Amino acid sequence: MLSIHYVHEHKDEIIARLSKRGISACEMIEALIEKDNQRKKLQHTLDAIQASLNQTSKQIGDLLKQGLKEEAEKAKQQTQTIKEEIKEKEEQLVVIEKDLQVQLYNIPNAPYQLVPAGNSADDNIEIRNGGIIPELGSDAIPHWDLARKFDLIDFELGVKITGSGFPVYKGKMARLQRAMVNFLLDENTRAGYVEYVPPLLVNEASGYGTGQLPDKEGQMYYMPADDLYLIPTSEVPLTNFFRDEILKSDDLPVKLTAYTPCFRREAGSYGKDVRGLNRLHQFDKVEIVQVVHPDTSYDVLETMVSHVEGILMKLKLPYRILRLCGGDMGFASAMTYDFEVFSAAQKRWLEVSSVSNFESFQANRMKLRFKQANDKPQLVHTLNGSSLAFPRILAALMENNQTSDGIQLPEVLHPYTGFERLA
């Protein structure tokens, strides 16, 4: 979340930056500042009353030493009145602080200066592209038909045992999934990321820490009996490893990677966007996360983008990189790059990765800081990216490399799969 101190000092700047999201934030920010001023005023009053209590308590001791028992008793009665007033003010302060926290939690991150203004994907900016879009014959078919033709994915069985959005991978496609995990984790660890296997369930504090809550509460699978959430991405547990921690400056940057299944309700999805592997409720993804010094985070962002781009080059998939406009960015992001690959049989671009800099937005929620020498602790910057999300990568690999007798796989995957084609 935004720092209330930063809001006070940079009110006009924040209002201007939030306007890139299509948000008219003036009243919201003014209300936030007014609420914090109420908090400060009440805290000042409470401090003064506490000082009065301390002074009166000291007087009681002095009066007793002087043998003035009657005066001391009156002073004791005064302290009781003061204590009741303190309790009342403390209860009021709790309410105001809670209201202030709720207001802060519901304000999205302020977009970075390079983020274009806009309200939808139409306002995103293509930064660059690569690869060659294949020219398929007239007999080319989409991946859901390829899956049936070569007996690779059973969508109907997934519906039977769970519901739509939960496909069953089989045979060589199941092995390809396993191969993709190893390939991507190897790429990430060679780039200096440390591999982890995090939990697939997180508590509420973790969801708030990375900004999934309260923004995406309706998109997360919730277990009320245990008060836990299935993760929508391994970013959530990985980044929360450091919640309430103070790192040493020498520890930065921290680089983490993990493979996990991910779970998203995707409420309201329909039509061509959900056909086949295009949009699932459960899918596999390999993630990268960095915790860095604030001065380096935008250089790190570009490095992470280049890393993901290199993976797509090795997979020989046609891709484009988009800088998202304010209205198309995630709630917690200060700047995001999306990667899309071209799915030739569907003749459309499919999002396969987002790489984002959250600046101190997540760190402030998690109280994640670092300390350099004798300086005061300060908030780190956090970043994350998909490297990569499988379903749409698999869809593009299948469609772009289809032949009449099978699907040719990129050479980089052959050592991992043990075979060269899906057939």
pLDDT of residue 69: 81
Token code pair at residue 420:
């060269």
Rg of the chain (C-alpha set):
27
pLDDT of residue 272: 58
**Strand-pair partners of 255:** 290
pLDDT by residue for the chain (423 residues), tens digit each? Answer: 898 999 999 999 999 999 999 999 999 999 999 999 999 999 999 999 999 988 888 888 888 888 888 888 888 888 888 999 999 999 999 999 999 999 999 999 999 999 999 999 999 999 999 999 999 888 899 999 999 999 999 999 999 999 999 999 999 999 999 999 999 999 999 999 999 999 999 999 999 999 999 888 889 999 999 999 999 999 999 999 999 999 999 999 999 999 999 999 975 555 556 789 999 999 999 999 999 999 999 999 999 999 999 999 999 999 999 999 999 999 999 999 999 999 999 999 999 999 999 999 999 999 999 998 888 999 999 999 999 999 999 999 999 999 988 999 999 999 999 999 998
Neighbours of 86 (CB within 10 A): 15
Structural domain boundaries in the chain: 4-105, 121-422
Are 141 and 124 in contact, with CB atoms under 8 Å apart? no
Rounded to whole angstroms, the Cα distance separating 57 from 399 reads: 81
Rounded to whole angstroms, the Cα distance separating 375 from 385 reads: 31
Per the rule left: phi > 0, alpha: psi between -120 and 50, beta: everything else, 359 is left
pLDDT of residue 56: 85
The residue whose two tokens read 């796989």 is: 409
- In degrees and rounded to multiples of 5, residue 269 shows phi and psi of -75, 140
Token code pair at residue 121:
């994907």
Continuous segment of H or E residues that includes residue 15: helix 11-18
Any long-range contacts for 146-153 (C-beta under 8 Å, 24+ apart)?
Answer: 146/398, 146/399, 146/402, 146/407, 147/173, 147/276, 147/398, 150/406, 150/407, 150/422, 150/423, 152/398, 152/422, 153/276, 153/277
Identity of the amino acid at 352: V
Rounded to whole angstroms, the Cα distance separating 102 from 203 reads: 18
pLDDT of residue 273: 65
CATH number at 121-422: 3.30.930.10
- Same fold across 4-105 and 121-422: no
Rounded to whole angstroms, the Cα distance separating 311 from 190 reads: 12
- In degrees and rounded to multiples of 5, residue 129 shows phi and psi of -145, 170
4-105: what fold? Helix Hairpins (1.10.287)
Contacts of 394 (CB under 8 A, 6+ apart): 143, 173, 176, 177, 180, 277
pLDDT of residue 334: 98
